[in-house]
Structure 1
Amino acid sequence: MAVTLSSYEVSDLCLGKPPLKSLSITSTLSDALHTLKRSHENYLSVWTCNHSSKKELMNECQCVGKICMVDIVCYLCNEENIASPSTALDNPVSVLLPKVDGLVRHVDSHLSLLDAIDLILKGAQNLVVPIRSNITINSRKKLHQKASTSPNLHNGIEFCWLTQEDVVRFLLNSIGLFSPIPAYSIESLGIVKNNIFAVSYYDPASSAVDTISSALLGQTSVAVVDDEGKLIGEISPITLASCDETVTTAITTLSAGDLMAYIDFGCPPEDMVRVVKARLKERNLQGMLELLDECSNSALSSSSSSSDDESSSLSNSSLRISGRFNRSGSYSTRMVNSAEAIVCHPGSSLVAVMMQAIVHRINYVWVIEDDYSLVGIVTFTDILKVLQSVA
């Protein structure tokens, strides 16, 4: 089995992957917001390149991290920033990069799959891989010349990155190699973690900001539970990453339970938007109000100009704070009795849990009992450890 897997390289997993959307480390948070809203990607890679330099060397052009909307939102929710979010957005993106080494790692395209898994289990979340190309030397020179105008080219080379999801998806396609382990229950394999991030339904959402940041860093989520410890839903960084910066106002003013409703179903309910505005006024958070109104007016103008039916457009856009809400399906409120619940039981098989996570594009699955009591969580990291042990 190990011989079979060792024959694969990371380049085999990169086929068809798009080039990274890049951002200079000197860019501001406003720049990052603008790029995120134009991009179809939830994450941006942050680079130390100076594309204005004609003497740029390969070792001077490095991806040093990644950021997403959740990073910006949590930063704006900090006590020192909620009074003046516009000022905070003038800061460089470097303020968002976690003080954790090795989250992003450059690797050669010929790195073996087994070595890549080893790097991931040591803490790497994204492996930056050069995209192979058969272009001529002259074409390469032309690409290098364009590097000064294209932030996604680095020394004339495009890169993509591999994630835990990419690796688990690849292994799932070869799951028969690991038999009989995939049929074992997650409980018997000992991969159900009970050290989870959780908040109470009635807790202020603002009290969960640090927890959301930790969940984002750990590629998991924040469970929302009732007084008996039963899973009600979650505040998912994946969902927050599809929002825009105005969700900061909801986190600042709503409870954890209300925040789930605010970010669910593609757009915030109109009555909740009114509640958020009223509470911002009560706390005299004029900067947050201006942020909310500015983005609302921008979305309203965009919707009105692009619709054939102006009255219908105005009606719909009154509920929509950002077009980013519609960009992906919502995973925020995973009610355990709904069809979209991303939950399993201790007796669920490893392969079933893998399939659940892959289908829903998440790195974890909540584990519950029959009465919906929250037992713990299973993550891709734990799954990869099991598969590595038998590879």
Structure 2
Amino acid sequence: MAVSFLARDVSDLCLGKPPLRSLSAAATVADALDALKSSDGEIHVSVWSFENEVGRCVGKLCMVDVICYLCREDNLLSPSKSLKEPLSSILPKDHNLVVHLQPSSSLLEAIDLILQGAQNFVVPILPTKRSGVSRRKQQHQKASSTINSHSSCEFCWLTQEDVIRFLLGSIGVFTPLPALSIDSLGIVSSDVLAIDYYSPASSTVGAISKSLAQQTSVAIVDSDGTFIGEISPFTLACCDETVAAAMATLSAGDLMAYIDCGGPPEDLVRVVKARLKEKNLEKMLQEFTILSSCESSQLASSSSSSDEESTTRTPARSGRLARSSSYSARMVRKAEAIVCHPKSSLVAVMIQAIAHRVNYLWVIEDDCSLVGIVTFSNMLKVFREHLETM
């Protein structure tokens, strides 16, 4: 039954999905910034390259790409100039992260591609079913056609989350796999991106870029390896480009607080202002083409005194994870992170990730020591291996 289930067409996972927003690869970083800030809830934009009138999606960008790009040393000195550069300056070099799939491709094919490194799929949106024309015939016609231009056909994103959500809807066909613990399944990876709480936030830029490509996150730990929180690309993607100033001046721990929900604390805004002046970067915010009205007003009203006392923050060490009726509750300190225990079942972890819209969960012990991370691709691997044994 599981075999036939995974033979389903990926078009079944795309029903009701909105068409993706797009930019030409010939556009500038400023164009991407404008598109991202004018979006209506969508935090990504697709980038397309055209050759002989054949279009192909070559990347998926969000605000994190722009922020990390602006954090480069040369760009900090002249943000306005850097925004005029072509999108190739911020596009991931690995174009295999985004893969085109036809609507008639199977779910199993999509899973295999994910296990090979694909992070997102671009799938043509099938036209509305017409009288006398079967859906299967439409799929066959679409599969045999060439994408001649982005404007002639609409596309949607198909993500790892979509695949996991679809599997979760019929999880019973994989019994007894879902009830097994993630520890016993061997899907907890110890290869994590982790930064010390007191490290400069600027040292996290490379890790953040890598976590974005891997659809994971950067753990913030103390000297004892205790998990404090995370710097999540998803959270950063909901910020604006002025966060680059915070990344250039704050510690990793303070950056967590700066990007947390509710806006940056006023004391940290003052610290950023003072340290920008110390580094002769005080004018960098003025050069951004578009500023967040909230943050820009806070920064403008902040004291510019160079002897402003910098706040040194101590990570919370209350030790225990706040629990609801289970182990899996949100961990709220400087930032929110979704965590689980090594003995959590596979299905429980899947439900947690889907409920909180993340592609991963941090795995921690009772004393909050970091064990590792479990990702959607880890989960899909065991489903694929389970299928091979049937």
Question: Under a length normalisation based on structure 1, what TM-score does the superposition of the two structures give?
Answer: 0.82
SS in 2 for 1:108: coil
- Give the 3 Å change call, closer, same or farther, for CA 73–227 of structure 1 in structure 2: same
- Could you say what the CA RMSD is over the residues aligned between the two structures, in angstroms? 2.3
**Which 5+ residue runs of structure 1 have no aligned equivalent?**
51-55, 137-152, 302-313, 320-332
Which residue is equivalent to 1:249?
245
**Equivalent in the alignment of 1:326:** none
Which residue pairs with 2:4 in the alignment?
Answer: 4
* TM alignment of 1:372-383, pairs within 5 A: 372-383=368-379
2:108 pairs with 1:114: yes
Q: For each residue in 1:190-221, what CA deviation from the matched residue of structure 2 results, as whole angstroms up to 9, or x when unmatched? A: 01110100011111000111111111111111
Matched, 1:103 2:97: yes
Give the aligned residue type for 2:19. P
- Aligned partner of 2:306 in structure 1 is none
Question: Which residue matches 1:82?
Answer: 76
2:121 corresponds, among 119, 124, 127, to: 127
Matched, 1:44 2:40: no
SS at match of 1:11: helix
Question: Does the aligned pair in 2 maintain the 1:232–1:336 contact within 8 Å?
Answer: no
* Structure 2 counterparts to residues 158-173 of structure 1, below 5 A: 158-173=154-169
Contact 1:249 1:292 (C-alpha < 8 Å) held by counterparts: no
Which whole-Å CA distance do the structure 2 matches of 1:78 and 1:217 have between them? 18
| Cα distance in 2 between the residues matched to 1:48 and 1:90 | 19
Moved more, 232-241 or 41-50: 41-50
Residue 23 (structure 1) aligns with: 23
Aligned-partner Cα distance in 2 for 1:300–1:248: 12
Conserved 8 A contact 1:270-1:318: no
**Residue 221 and residue 157 in structure 1: after superposition, are their counterparts in 2 closer, same or farther (change >3 A)?**
same
CA deviations on 1:251-293 (whole Å, 9 max, x unpaired) are: 0000011001101122111221111011101111144232479
Amino acid at match of 1:44: V
Alpha-carbon distance between aligned partners in 2 of 1:361 and 1:299, rounded to the nearest angstrom? 26
Q: Does 1:157 align with 2:147?
A: no
Regions of 4+ moved over 3 Å: 291-294, 298-301
- Contact conserved, 1:204 with 1:256, CA < 8 A, in 2? yes
Tell me the distance in 1 between the aligned counterparts of 2:197 and 2:350.
Answer: 28
C-alpha distance in structure 2 between counterparts of 1:88 and 1:356, whole Å: 39
CA contact (8 A) 1:231 1:336 kept: no
* Counterpart code for 2:321: N
Query: Within 2, Cα distance between the matches of 1:90 and 1:184?
Result: 52
Identity, % of aligned positions: 61
Distance 2:289 2:321 in 1: 36
Aligned residues: 340
Q: What CA deviation, in whole Å up to 9, does each residue of 1:22-60 have, x standing for no partner?
A: 01101111111110011121111100148xxxxx64xx1
Note closer, same or farther for the CA distance 1:294–1:194 as it changes in structure 2 (3 Å cut): same
Q: Give the Å deviation of 1:6.
A: 3.7
CA deviation map 1:296-336 (0-9, x unaligned): 5x4589xxxxxxxxxxxx99x989xxxxxxxxxxxxx9x97
Opposite residue 84 of structure 1, the aligned amino acid is S
Q: Tell me the equivalent position of 2:208.
A: 212
Partners of 2:295 and 2:160 in 1: how far apart?
38
Match of 1:325 in 2: none
- Please give the secondary structure, in 1, of the residue aligned with 2:164: helix
Residues of 2 paired with 1:343 and 1:291: CA distance? 39
Q: Which position in structure 2 is the counterpart of 1:327? A: none
1:155 to partner: Cα distance: 4.2
The one-letter code matched in structure 2 to 1:106 is H
Partner residue of 1:144? none
User: For residues 111 and 187 of structure 1, what CA distance do their matches in structure 2 show?
Assistant: 32
Of 230, 233, 238, the residue aligned with 1:234 is: 230
Tell me which residue corresponds to 1:65. 59
Distance 1:6 1:193 in 2: 25
Residue by residue, what CA displacement relative to the aligned partner does 1:169-191 show, whole Å, maximum 9, x if unpaired?
A: 11011110111011001110001
In structure 2, do the counterparts of structure 1 residues 125 and 376 end up closer, same or farther at CA, with 3 Å as the change threshold? same
For residue 2 of structure 1, report the CA deviation from its aligned partner.
Answer: 3.7
CA deviations 1:333-391 (Å, max 9, x no partner) are 9x973442311111110111111111111110000111000000000011000011123
Partner of 1:340: 330
Aligned to 1:290: 286
Q: 1:69 to 1:183 in 2, by over 3 A?
A: same
| Residue 33 (1) aligns with residue 26 (2) | no
Could you tell me whether the CA contact under 8 Å between 1:9 and 1:109 is conserved in 2? Answer: yes
After the TM superposition, which residues 347-358 of structure 1 pair with which residues of structure 2 at under 5 Å, given as runs?
347-358=343-354
Instruction: Determine the structure 1 residue equivalent to 2:313.
Output: none
